[in-house]
């Protein structure tokens, strides 16, 4: 089963991105989603190459945000698709059956479509306001997650669901009671000056009720 903690990378330059990703890996995060928006292809490729190398070194999953062709070129572990990106079916045709395809969702209907199209996990959000993302979808809150996951259970649809959007350490316990699989975070890790402590605490909360 997939790791419960995903780090979505931040940084306006290759240097900032690499620093933040290396810090996350070095302090115990083993799932990286590289998000490097509105950049020249040459820069994005250079970053992806370096991140791929780092993730191999740390035995971490490496997912590329949005860019299916780059994910194929770099031989990343997979791709994460937004609601307006390449379709899951098209991405699957390009990447093949063994790669991970994640997708963003805001509603139960989004999730149902993604499951029917064969995605592997879903980033459901936003949980609350976040400055990381522009053009935010309607905020879900705890009740939104509960309602959607209850519907999925009723329809007997299984899918790892990750909460995303403005999540803090204090929110994790309550979020995990809704039935989500894990969380995808960005700013909380990037901005922390005690990353090792934070990532350890996040993982403790995420895996608290897991029977090994």
Domains, the chain, ranges and CATH?
5-206 (3.20.20.70)
Could you tell me which residues come within 8 angstroms of residue 210 by beta carbon, excluding any fewer than 6 positions away? none
Rounded to whole angstroms, how far apart are CA atoms 45 and 210? 37
Residue-level pLDDT at 157: 85
Determine whether 204 is exposed, middle or buried from the number of CB atoms within 10 Å of its CB (0-12, 13-18, 19+).
Answer: exposed
pTM to 2 decimals?
0.95
SS3 83: coil
Scanning the structure block, which residue is given the tokens 């959007």?
Answer: 165
Give per-10-residue mean pLDDT for the chain (212 aa). Answer: 94 98 97 96 97 98 97 98 93 97 97 96 93 76 96 92 96 96 97 97 90 54
Dihedral sign computed on CA atoms, order 201, 205, 210, 211: positive
Task: State what percent of residues in the chain have pLDDT above 70.
Answer: 96
Q: What is the 3-state secondary structure (H, E, C) of 97-141?
A: CCCEEEEEECCHHHHHHHHHCCCCEEEECCCCCCCCCCCCCCCCH
Specify the DSSP class assigned to residue 7. E
Determine whether 76 is exposed, middle or buried from the number of CB atoms within 10 Å of its CB (0-12, 13-18, 19+).
Answer: buried
Could you tell me which residues come within 8 angstroms of residue 37 by beta carbon, excluding any fewer than 6 positions away? 65
Residue-level pLDDT at 3: 95
Rounded to whole angstroms, how far apart are CA atoms 141 and 138? 10
């Amino acid at each position: 089963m997939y790791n419960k903690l995903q780090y979505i990378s931040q940084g306006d330059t290759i240097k900032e991105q690499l620093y933040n990703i290396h810090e996350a890996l070095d302090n115990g995060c083993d799932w990286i989603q590289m998000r490097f928006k509105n950049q020249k292809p040459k820069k994005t490729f250079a970053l992806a190459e370096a991140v791929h190398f780092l993730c191999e070194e740390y035995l971490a999953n490496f997912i590329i945000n949005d860019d299916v062709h780059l994910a194929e070129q770099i031989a990343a572990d997979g791709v994460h698709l937004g609601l307006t990106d390449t379709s899951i079916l098209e991405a699957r045709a390009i990447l093949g059956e063994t790669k991970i395809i994640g997708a963003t969702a805001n509603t139960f209907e989004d999730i149902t479509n993604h499951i029917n199209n064969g995605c592997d996990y879903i980033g459901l959000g936003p949980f609350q306001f976040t400055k990381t993302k522009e053009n935010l979808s309607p905020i879900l809150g705890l009740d939104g997650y509960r309602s959607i996951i209850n519907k999925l259970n009723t329809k007997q649809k299984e899918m790892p669901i990750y909460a995303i959007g403005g999540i803090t350490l204090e929110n994790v316990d309550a979020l995990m009671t809704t039935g989500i699989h894990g969380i995808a975070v960005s700013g909380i890790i990037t901005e922390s000056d005690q990353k090792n402590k934070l990532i350890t605490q996040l993982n403790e909360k995420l895996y608290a009720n897991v029977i090994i």
